[in-house]
Every structure is written in C-alpha cells, then in structure tokens.
A and B are shown apart, each in its own frame.
Chain A
Amino acid sequence: MNEFLHILSQPDNLPIAGMLLAVLALLGVWLRQALRNDRLLRDERASDIGEEMRR
C-alpha cells in the first residue's frame, strides 16, 4: 500500500490520481441527484423532477 501511495504521489501521476478522485466525487453528486429523482417518482411527483433539476 505504501508503494502504491508513493507511486500515486509522484508529480507525473498526480493528474491521473486527481482525475480518479474527481470522477468518484462527481459520480457521488449525480447519484445523490438520481436518488432524489427516484424519491420524487416513488412519491408520484414525477412532474417535479424538472423543477428539482433547475434549482
């Protein structure tokens, strides 16, 4: 694990490591949005999804 972190923190590898973290973080943001949309569908408020995404 230490060797992996050592390789990951090399200057030339920082961009790709940053990209992996950014993709994971943004995937989380969109999954939260998807859960909110699913909750609206479950509550039979499908027509509110557009408004929810415009907030």
Chain B
Amino acid sequence: MTERLSDDPNPTPLRDTPPPRGIWRQLVRSIFRHRYEDTPRNRMLQITSNVFLHLHPPTVARHGLRLRYTWAMGGLSFLTYLVTVVTGVWLMFYYRPTAEHAYIDMKNLEHEIPFGMLMRNMHRWAAHAMVIVVWIHMLRVFLAGAYKSPREFNWAVGVVLLTLTMLLSFTGYLLPWDQLARWAVTVGTNMAAATPFLGHQGPGAELTGVTDRTDFRALLLGGPQVGGAAILRFYVLHCIFLPIVITVLMIVHFWRVRKDGGISGPPPELGGVIGPSDTTGGGPA
C-alpha cells in the first residue's frame, strides 16, 4: 500500500523515498528557522518566530531596563508566581484536602517526605514574597502614572490580579489545617458574613433574606463553620479555579503591556524619547 505525494502520474512510494541530504540540518532548521548573524532582521525574526522568545518585545525602552525605575517588580511577581506553581504542584502529590488527612499530610511533608520541608517552605515564602512584590509593583506603577491613558485597561486588569493574589494567599492559608489556619479563616470568613446584602449579619440581609446557612460565608465554607467542606472548597479554589483565572489575566496583562507601548515613561515634552534612539535591541518594535 503506497500513498500518493502529489498528482505525479508516476508517484514514488514513501518507503522507497531516500532521506533528503542533510536531514539533521533540515530538522534543526525546522526548529530554528533563521540564521544567527547579528543583524536587526535576524534579531527580530528570532523573537517573532519563537513562542517563548515572543514573550519579550524585540525592542525595549532604555528607561524600562533601569532597576531604579522599575524595581523589577513585575518580573519578580511573575517569578514568584512560577515558583509557587511548581512547588504547589509538587505539594499536591502528597496532600489530601480532608479534615482527617490534611494536618497529618502537612506534618509528613515536613518530616517524612524527601525535600518536603524545602518544597513546603519554598511555596510558603514564595507566596509571601508574591504578595509583597505585587503590592510594591502596584505602588511603582501608580507612582509612575502608568494608570493613565493608554494604560487604563491594563491598570484595571492589574488591580484584579492583585485581588486574586490576595485570594490565593487567603485560600492557601487554610490548607495546613492547624489552629492558626482554622482560626484565621474563621475570622476572615466571619467578615464575609457581614457583607452587605450577601452576609446574614450585613446591612440589607433582611431584604435578601439570607441566613447563616444560605449567605456568602456559607457558600465559602460549605456550612455554618470551618470544617471538612471548607477545606475542600478552599483547596479547589486555591489549586484550580484561582490559578486558571490568574493565568489567563496575566497573559492579558503581559499582552497589554506590549500593545500599550511597553513600560510607561516620561512624555516627549519632558525628555522622554520614543523611537529607535531610546531603545535597545536595534530592530523595529
């Protein structure tokens, strides 16, 4: 059984086709599609024809590379997120989100599992660091006036990302299932009980008719108090729902940074320069 390659009246069977000369060269060329001569065109081609390199723009404004201008907080936010994702997936292999097992599994991670203490502490401190650098990133963006046109939409996306970061931190706080976790989440979710209209202790509760079993707090906890249902809900929120949403929004965030002209800087009338003389990398943006 042979397969026709084209409309050639005398097709060559596939199994008889000699391998093309320099097949390894062809294979490498199919992955790296351009040469390495350092020319503006090749630099741009390398960036635009590779999905990973394409995350970086072909040109970057000089002020955008200054540490004292950016504090590198956007990149550090992403780095700490990646660390929490990698270590978090590793922790998921050893953790069962039930009231019966959660605390024991956390203790086993610390004292029995090889590298468990290291991975748990990396996850914990990367999470702390993520909250800190995301807040400082927002402070830097605010002080640089990057919430102004044309970056209003990306500012709003960033505010949502900040909120999601705090929610990731909050939902992860319950998972060790120790006394600190249980009572911290009890306090946190009690605030949800005072949400206007949605919490049974909040203003407007009599209008919506919510009770302690049907309000926003009960939705979070799966019951009237922190228990087995709560840990499962927080686990699903922490490991599936919130990471998916935050990943999608981060993609939008990074894409908008590119589309809005890169990192904000002083306008031309204040000495800001827009164009190749203000950029590194040589190629057109």
Give A29 to B129 CA distance when docked, in angstroms.
Answer: 20
Kindly list chain B residues whose C-beta atoms are within 8 Å of the C-beta of A48.
Answer: 271
**A50 vs B273: C-alpha distance when bound (angstroms):** 7
B136 touches A49 (CB 8 A): no
Contacts of A47 in B (CB 8 A): 269-271
5 residue pairs from A and B, CB less than 8 Å apart: A15-B128, A19-B132, A48-B271, A50-B271, A55-B66
Secondary structure at the A interface, as helix, strand, loop or mixed, is helix
Which B residues have a C-beta under 8 Å from some C-beta of A?
62-63, 66, 68-69, 71, 125, 128-129, 131-132, 135-136, 139-140, 143, 180, 265-266, 269-273
Per DSSP, chain B at the interface is helix
Q: Does B140 lie within 8 Å of A54, measured CB to CB?
A: no
Question: Contacts of B125 on A, CB cut-off 8 Å?
Answer: 15
Binding site for B on A (CB under 8 A): 12, 15, 18-19, 22-23, 26-27, 29-30, 33-34, 46-55
CB-CB under 8 A from B135, the residues of chain A are: 19, 23
Residue of B nearest to A18 (CB): B132
A19 contacts B131, C-beta separation under 8 Å: yes
User: Which residues does chain B contribute within 8 Å of A12, judged by CB atoms?
Assistant: 180
